[in-house]
Amino acid sequence: MAIQFHDPRGETRVPPERYSCRHPLEGAVSIGLLANNFPDSVAFLDAVETALGERLPRARFRRYAKPGASAPASDALVAEMAGQCDALVTAYGH
C-alpha cells in the first residue's frame, strides 16, 4: 500500500503582490518575537530567530510572551513591543 500525501493549499484567485516595508530591514533593526505559550511556540521562535539572524546579521532580537495562549496581549505589552521593535513575529505552537 502506497502512502499518498495531500497538499491542503488551495489555488489562489488573487496574484501575490510585492510590498515594501516602512523600514528597509537592512541596517541594525530590532525584531520582536512574541510567543503565546502554546507548546513549542518558543522553540518555533528559536528557529525563526536563527533563520532571520542569518539573513539580517545586524538585527537584535527581543523576546516577549503572552501570559497564556487564550489571553490577549495586555495594552502595556503591546506598547512595550511597539516602542522597542521595528518588526514583530508572533507565533503559536502545537
Task: Assign 24 a pLDDT band (cuts: 50, 70, 90).
Answer: low
Taking Cα atoms as reference points, which of 37, 89, 38 lies closest to residue 59?
Answer: 89
Query: Residue 76 pLDDT more than 90?
Result: yes
14, 42 in Cβ contact below 8 A? no
Percentage of the chain modeled with pLDDT above 70: 89
Q: Has this prediction a pTM greater than 0.85?
A: no
Residue 4 grid cell: 499518498
